[in-house]
Amino acid sequence: MIHSARQGLEMLKKTVVGATLFILMSVTALSIASASPSGQADTGPDSFTFLIFALSDADRRGLLSDDLIETLSDYVIENLTIPYTFETADEVKDRLSEQGQTSFELLIRVLTDANDHDLISDYLATELADFLVEEFIASQTGETPEQVRERLSRQPTPTPTAMPTATPLPSTVTEVVKNAEKAVVLVESSGGLGTGFIIDAGGRLITNAHVVARDSRVLIQMHDETIYVADVLGIDEIADLAVVQLPPGRLLHPVPLGDSSLAEVGDEVVAMGYPLGFKTVTTGIVSATNVTFGGVEHIQTDSAINPGNSGGPLLNSVGHVIGINVGKFEETASGRPVDNIGFAIAVNELKTRLSDLTAGLSVLDHTPPPVPGPNTGWMRYKNGEYGYSIDVPPVWSFSMEFDDEKYAHFSSSDSQALTEVRAYDVPDSFSLREFAEQRRDALNATARAEPGGLLEVKTFERVDETADEYYEIGYRYQPTPDVCVSDVTEQVRLSSLYPTKSYGFGISVSVCEDSLEDYVFDRDAIMGTFLEWNRYASSAYRYSINIAPNWVLSTVLESGATAVISPLDGGGVVAVEAYSDPEDSSTLDDFAQWRAGQLYEEAEVWEEFEPHFVNKMREQVGDREAYITAYTARKSSRHCLAGYIDLIALSSYYPDNSTGFVVFTGVCLFLMDELNEDRLEMLDSFRY
Between 429 and 182, the more confident residue is: 182
Whether residues 599 and 630 share a domain: the answer is: yes
Whole-number pLDDT of residue 657: 67
Q: Is the pLDDT confidence value at 571 over 50?
A: yes
Report the range of poorest mean pLDDT among 19-28, 172-181, 311-320.
19-28
Domain boundary among 312, 332, 363: 363
What integer is the mean pLDDT of 90-97? 82
Q: What is the largest CA-CA distance in the chain?
A: 89
What integer is the mean pLDDT of 262-283? 87
119-128, 360-369, 588-597 — most confident range: 588-597
Report the range of poorest mean pLDDT among 82-96, 102-116, 242-256, 357-371.
357-371
Whole-number pLDDT of residue 106: 87
Whether residues 415 and 349 share a domain: the answer is: no
Whether residues 413 and 352 share a domain: the answer is: no
**Residue 368 domain-assigned (yes or no):** no
Whole-number pLDDT of residue 559: 66
Whole-number pLDDT of residue 621: 46
* DSSP3 helix / strand / coil % (the chain, rounded to 5): 30, 35, 35
Whether residues 120 and 195 share a domain: the answer is: no
**Residue 669 domain-assigned (yes or no):** yes
User: For residue 621, which amino acid is it?
Assistant: V
Whole-number pLDDT of residue 507: 93
**d(Cα 680, Cα 186) in Å, to the nearest integer?**
36
Whether residues 392 and 434 share a domain: the answer is: yes
**Residue 410 domain-assigned (yes or no):** yes
What's the domain range around 615? 538-685
Q: Is the pLDDT confidence value at 675 over 90?
A: no
Whole-number pLDDT of residue 204: 92
**Residue 167 domain-assigned (yes or no):** no
**d(Cα 545, Cα 126) in Å, to the nearest integer?**
40
Give how far Cα 611 sits from Cα of 232, 486, 596, 667, 688, Å: 37, 64, 11, 15, 26
Domain boundary among 341, 363, 385: 363
286-295, 437-446, 518-527 — most confident range: 437-446
CATH number at residue 386: 3.40.1000.10
Between 468 and 183, the more confident residue is: 183
- Contact (CB, 8 A) for 415 and 484: no
Whole-number pLDDT of residue 33: 31
Between 275 and 229, the more confident residue is: 229
Whether residues 432 and 520 share a domain: the answer is: yes
- Contact (CB, 8 A) for 421 and 530: yes
- Contact (CB, 8 A) for 307 and 192: no
Whole-number pLDDT of residue 143: 85
Q: Is the pLDDT confidence value at 292 over 80?
A: no
**Residue 439 domain-assigned (yes or no):** yes
Whole-number pLDDT of residue 368: 41
Whole-number pLDDT of residue 252: 82
Confidence band (pLDDT; 50, 70, 90) for 534? Answer: low
**Residue 226 domain-assigned (yes or no):** yes
What integer is the mean pLDDT of 51-66? 84
Q: Which residues does residue 283 pair with via DSSP β-bridges, in sequence order?
A: 270
Domain boundary among 314, 333, 363: 363
43-52, 125-134, 179-188, 444-453 — most confident range: 179-188
What integer is the mean pLDDT of 661-680? 87
Confidence band (pLDDT; 50, 70, 90) for 184? Answer: very high
Q: What are the phi and psi torsion angles at 486 (to 5°)?
A: -105, 145
Q: What confidence tens digit (pLDDT) does each residue in 146-166 have?
A: 888 888 887 654 444 444 443
Q: What are the phi and psi torsion angles at 31 (to 5°)?
A: -130, 45
Q: Is the pLDDT confidence value at 350 over 90?
A: yes
Whole-number pLDDT of residue 530: 84
Q: What confidence tens digit (pLDDT) does each residue in 13-46 have?
A: 344 455 455 445 444 443 333 333 333 334 457 7
Between 428 and 69, the more confident residue is: 69
Whole-number pLDDT of residue 331: 45
Q: Is the pLDDT confidence value at 314 over 50?
A: yes
% of the chain surpassing 90 pLDDT: 17
Whether residues 389 and 440 share a domain: the answer is: yes
Run of H or E including 146: helix 145-153
What integer is the mean pLDDT of 613-637? 75
Q: How many domains does the chain have?
A: 4
Q: Is the pLDDT confidence value at 416 over 60?
A: yes
CATH number at residue 242: 2.40.10.120
Convert 268-307 to b/e letters by CB count within 10 Å (16 or more is b): ebbbbbbbeeebbbbbbebbebebbbbbbbbbbbbbbbbe
Report the range of poorest mean pLDDT among 229-233, 437-441, 502-506, 568-572.
568-572
What integer is the mean pLDDT of 397-416? 72
Average model confidence (pLDDT) for the chain? 78
Q: Which residues does residue 327 pair with via DSSP β-bridges, in sequence order?
A: 343
Q: What is residue 366's three-state secondary structure? A: coil
What integer is the mean pLDDT of 595-599? 88
DSSP 375: G
Q: Phi-psi category of 95—alpha, beta or left, where left has phi over 0 and alpha has psi -120 to 50?
A: alpha
Confidence band (pLDDT; 50, 70, 90) for 113? Answer: confident
Q: Is the pLDDT confidence value at 429 over 60?
A: yes
- Pairing mode, if any, of strands 407-411 and 397-402? antiparallel
Convert 651-665 to b/e letters by CB count within 10 Å (16 or more is b): bbebeeebbbbbbbb
How wide is the angle at C-alpha 587 spanned by C-alphas 584 and 589, nearest 5°? 150
Whether residues 205 and 260 share a domain: the answer is: yes
pTM for this one?
Answer: 0.38
The 10 Å Cβ neighbour count of residue 309 is 28
Whole-number pLDDT of residue 207: 95
Whether residues 257 and 396 share a domain: the answer is: no
- Contact (CB, 8 A) for 487 and 524: no
**Residue 420 domain-assigned (yes or no):** yes
Whole-number pLDDT of residue 158: 47
- Strand order of the β-sheet with 407-411 is 397-402, 407-411, 417-425, 503-512, 486-494, 468-478, 454-465
How many Å from the N-terminal Cα to the C-terminal Cα in the chain? 21
Whether residues 149 and 75 share a domain: the answer is: yes
Give how far Cα 677 sits from Cα of 88, 319, 498, Å: 41, 50, 23
**Residue 160 domain-assigned (yes or no):** no
Report the range of poorest mean pLDDT among 18-32, 95-109, 550-564, 604-618.
18-32
**d(Cα 441, Cα 452) in Å, to the nearest integer?**
19
Whole-number pLDDT of residue 34: 32
What integer is the mean pLDDT of 594-607? 88
Q: Is the pLDDT confidence value at 472 over 80?
A: yes
**d(Cα 507, Cα 529) in Å, to the nearest integer?**
11
Run of H or E including 211: helix 209-212
**d(Cα 601, Cα 377) in Å, to the nearest integer?**
57
Q: Is the pLDDT confidence value at 391 over 60?
A: yes
447-456, 463-472, 633-642 — most confident range: 633-642
What integer is the mean pLDDT of 400-414? 73
Whether residues 146 and 257 share a domain: the answer is: no
- Contact (CB, 8 A) for 302 and 284: yes
Helix orientation angle between 66-76 and 16-27, rounded to the nearest 10 degrees: 20
Q: Residue 233: which of 248, 222, 220, 218 has the closest Cα? A: 218
**d(Cα 298, Cα 293) in Å, to the nearest integer?**
7
**d(Cα 89, Cα 507) in Å, to the nearest integer?**
48
- Contact (CB, 8 A) for 272 and 177: yes
Q: Is the dihedral of CA 122, 124, 127, 129 positive or negative?
A: negative
What integer is the mean pLDDT of 181-199? 89
What integer is the mean pLDDT of 473-477? 92
DSSP 504: E
Whether residues 332 and 404 share a domain: the answer is: no
